[in-house]
Amino acid sequence: MSLLVVGSTAFDDIETPHGTRVGCLGGSSTHFSLAAALFTEVRLVSVVGEDFPAEHRALLERKGVRLDGLEVKPGKTFRWSGRYSADMNSRETLDVQLNTFGDFAPKVPPSFADSRFVFLANASPQTQLSVLEQTAGAEFAVADTMNLWIDTARSELDELMHRVDGLIVNDEEIKMLTGETNLIRAGRRALQMGPKLLILKKGEHGCFLFSNFFQSAMPAYPTEKVVDPTGAGDSFAGGFMGFLSTCDTLSLWNMKRAIAYGTVAASLTVEGFSVERLATATREDIDRRYQELIQFVAV
Amino acid sequence: MSLLVVGSTAFDDIETPHGTRVGCLGGSSTHFSLAAALFTEVRLVSVVGEDFPAEHRALLERKGVRLDGLEVKPGKTFRWSGRYSADMNSRETLDVQLNTFGDFAPKVPPSFADSRFVFLANASPQTQLSVLEQTAGAEFAVADTMNLWIDTARSELDELMHRVDGLIVNDEEIKMLTGETNLIRAGRRALQMGPKLLILKKGEHGCFLFSNFFQSAMPAYPTEKVVDPTGAGDSFAGGFMGFLSTCDTLSLWNMKRAIAYGTVAASLTVEGFSVERLATATREDIDRRYQELIQFVAV
């Protein structure tokens, strides 16, 4: 089924213990799209500057990402610079240049308006709400968010949480959102704020999935090689939404499988800088790791 | 099959956000024993002072813990005082009075010498090695350890790791032991140091099980009620060893089930102060939570 993503496209400058990359392809919508495209065609809504190279467009299109909604504006593409700690469990943002992303007002093109699955990558809740208004027929909409919006746009975020089907947050964010330190209690509390489904990402510790009818856990895929964690969360969301959009029903069973596919997509992303590993991954890679992950948790 | 545990018996003074308890029953061997006794008879080797009350002995005996190896020495019982942080993910030791535990030299009574499963709770590697010498026929011996011994008794610990079948450590300890920050790499590296089986406890994030033939993950049981984490790790070990000692074979399948049972035992312990919850738990409680945990991870 049709899957739309709205988010950032960026140039990333990245330092990790494994090396440095300057100006590589990044952004939430990029990681999401390349992961989701392993399962289905992806419709991208984002913005770049005139400096965005043809080769990046070509890569996305070749992988099955439709760029009808990729606006090109005068000026430069959004740029993010960051440095990871030695154990890669934390990172420092060194510089942010919003550039053309600064006043991003997503316009869903008519050809994408009938999208049935919608992923709202991290942006202000107001921006995310504006996308929901443009995709009124969406069957399953999921939003990401971050501490900044929990802090500064709480009432808009509260409205958003009542409008989306699912919310994806990490452990810090959910503690901030709910005031609970016990993650299980926090997950159940967040469900009372609106979303029918809550995904709690815990990085190397895997993730939890909460609904009012079930809860489920998935460890991270046991990778020994973490080169660059940038985009892991968006790739997770891409694998989750990409797989789910190919399912006949939004059943518990399919949700659980979808978080396993999200986990696998994230495990590929972290093994290379930027989208290097994800861009060369095949559906066979995904399915092999999926089986390994299932064995890893099987009792 | 016969299961022996050697470790501390203590009075604990505990402060958590849920309250305070003074002089309650504690110690690694106590939590281990009460968890393991839900599965099988447990043989305890430990030491207490003359102040150890008859009611604690009676509780242990009633639950199926044999006290032939519980030495009573002139003086006081080991006493530990600690305070947990608000989120209960860290704790501060306020006071330690080793008392009769100070020069603990475990003596395995003749009636326990044929034990086939042996758990060496945290103690100096030298003390742990002395137990292995007294239980030469043991089929499956597992040791716990701590940062102190990794720091101060590394050569004895290295010898111990070659002599035991399994080692149980937490995430901090394994990073210290191996110098690796990636937990999967750390687990595989620790296996090269001797043990055939390595269990990595991650508290609220569950655990990993490593061997040269497989690796496996288990999330924590999704409890919303953490009252006192004291003894969770020893209860985990008790559930693991207790269940395993009832199995026909030490197969991968049984190992995986055993870490699930360990997880469940730990989940009961943390729901009350000291051994309050564990002491009232039944095998039915264990089996119900085991099924819930299996559903929690099932894909």
How many residues does the structure list for chain A?
Answer: 299
Can you tell me the ipTM of this complex? 0.90
Tokens representing residue A56 in the block: 């990046």
pLDDT of residue B211: 96
Q: What percent of chain B has pLDDT over 70?
A: 100
pLDDT of residue A190: 98
Whether chain A has a CB inside 8 Å of the CB on B205: the answer is yes
Tokens representing residue A17 in the block: 């213990």
Whether chain B has a CB inside 8 Å of the CB on A226: the answer is yes
Whether chain B has a CB inside 8 Å of the CB on A206: the answer is yes
At B203, is the pLDDT very low, low, confident or very high (cuts 50, 70, 90)?
A: very high
pLDDT of residue A151: 96
Q: What percent of chain A has pLDDT over 70?
A: 100
Q: Is the model more confident about B252 or about B9?
A: B9
Domain span at residue B192? 3-297
Summarize pLDDT for A134-157 with one digit per residue, the tens: 999 999 999 999 999 999 999 999
- Please tell me which of the candidates B188, B204, B218 has its beta carbon nearest to residue A183: B204
Which residues in chain B have Cβ-Cβ distances shorter than 8 Å to A257? 299
Which residues in chain B have Cβ-Cβ distances shorter than 8 Å to A188? 224
A1 has pLDDT over 80:
no
- Cβ–Cβ under 8 Å, residues B283 and B38: yes
B215 has pLDDT over 80:
yes
Return the residue of A nearest to B180 by Cα.
A87
Kindly determine whether residue A216 and residue B183, on different chains, have CB atoms separated by under 8 Å.
no
Instruction: Please give the average per-residue pLDDT across B144-159, as a whole number.
Output: 97
Between CA B73 and CA B82, with CA B77 as vertex, the angle to 5 degrees is 160
To the nearest whole Å, the CA of A20 is away from the closest chain B CA by 20
pLDDT of residue B191: 97
Q: Which of A16, A172, A181 to mutate to test the interface with B (most CBs of B within 10 A)?
A: A181
Q: Which of A205, A213, A253, A295 to mutate to test the interface with B (most CBs of B within 10 A)?
A: A205
Return the residue of B nearest to A215 by Cα.
B296
Summarize pLDDT for A52-81 with one digit per residue, the tens: 999 999 999 999 999 999 999 999 999 999
Instruction: Please give the average per-residue pLDDT across A233-241, as a whole number.
Output: 98
At A87, is the pLDDT very low, low, confident or very high (cuts 50, 70, 90)?
A: confident
Q: What are the residues whose beta carbons fall under 8 Å from the beta carbon of B156, sequence distance 6 or more?
A: B124, B125, B126, B129, B149
Backbone φ and ψ of B224, nearest 5°:
-95, -5
Chains A, B: CB pairs < 8 Å:
72
Instruction: Please give the average per-residue pLDDT across B275-291, as a whole number.
Output: 97
Which residues in chain B have Cβ-Cβ distances shorter than 8 Å to A183? 204
Burial A182-208 (b: 16+ CB within 10 A, else e): bbbbbbbbbbeebbebbbbbbbbbbbb
Q: What is the mean pLDDT of chain A?
A: 96
To the nearest whole Å, the CA of A267 is away from the closest chain B CA by 13
For residue B49, give the CATH number of its domain. Answer: 3.40.1190.20
Q: What is the mean pLDDT of chain B?
A: 96
pLDDT of residue B89: 83
pLDDT of residue A9: 98
pLDDT of residue A185: 96
Whether chain A has a CB inside 8 Å of the CB on B224: the answer is yes
Return the residue of B nearest to A86 by Cα.
B181
To the nearest whole Å, the CA of A183 is away from the closest chain B CA by 8
Kindly determine whether residue B183 and residue A204, on different chains, have CB atoms separated by under 8 Å.
yes
Instruction: Please give the average per-residue pLDDT across A96-113, as a whole number.
Output: 96
Question: Distance of CA B283 to CAs A252, B158, B243, B261, Å?
Answer: 29, 37, 11, 11
To the nearest whole Å, the CA of A129 is away from the closest chain B CA by 32
Kindly determine whether residue B185 and residue A297, on different chains, have CB atoms separated by under 8 Å.
no
At B1, is the pLDDT very low, low, confident or very high (cuts 50, 70, 90)?
A: confident
B170 has pLDDT over 80:
yes
Note the pTM of the prediction, 2 decimals: 0.93
Q: What are the residues whose beta carbons fall under 8 Å from the beta carbon of B279, sequence distance 6 or more?
A: B34, B59, B63
Between CA B286 and CA B289, with CA B288 as vertex, the angle to 5 degrees is 65
pLDDT of residue B87: 86
Cα Dmax for chain A: 56
The stretches of chain A forming alpha helices (DSSP H) are: 28-36, 54-62, 125-134, 147-152, 154-163, 171-178, 183-191, 232-244, 252-269, 276-280, 283-297
Kindly determine whether residue B215 and residue A257, on different chains, have CB atoms separated by under 8 Å.
no
Q: Which of A175, A182, A252 to mutate to test the interface with B (most CBs of B within 10 A)?
A: A182
- Cβ–Cβ under 8 Å, residues A268 and A285: yes
To the nearest whole Å, the CA of B206 is away from the closest chain A CA by 8
Closest by CA position to A201, among listed A181, A183, A189: A183
At A200, is the pLDDT very low, low, confident or very high (cuts 50, 70, 90)?
A: very high
Whether chain B has a CB inside 8 Å of the CB on A7: the answer is no
pLDDT of residue B88: 87
- Cβ–Cβ under 8 Å, residues A77 and A65: no
Return the residue of A nearest to B17 by Cα.
A181
- Give the total number of structural domains in chain A: 1
Which residues in chain A have Cβ-Cβ distances shorter than 8 Å to B294? 299
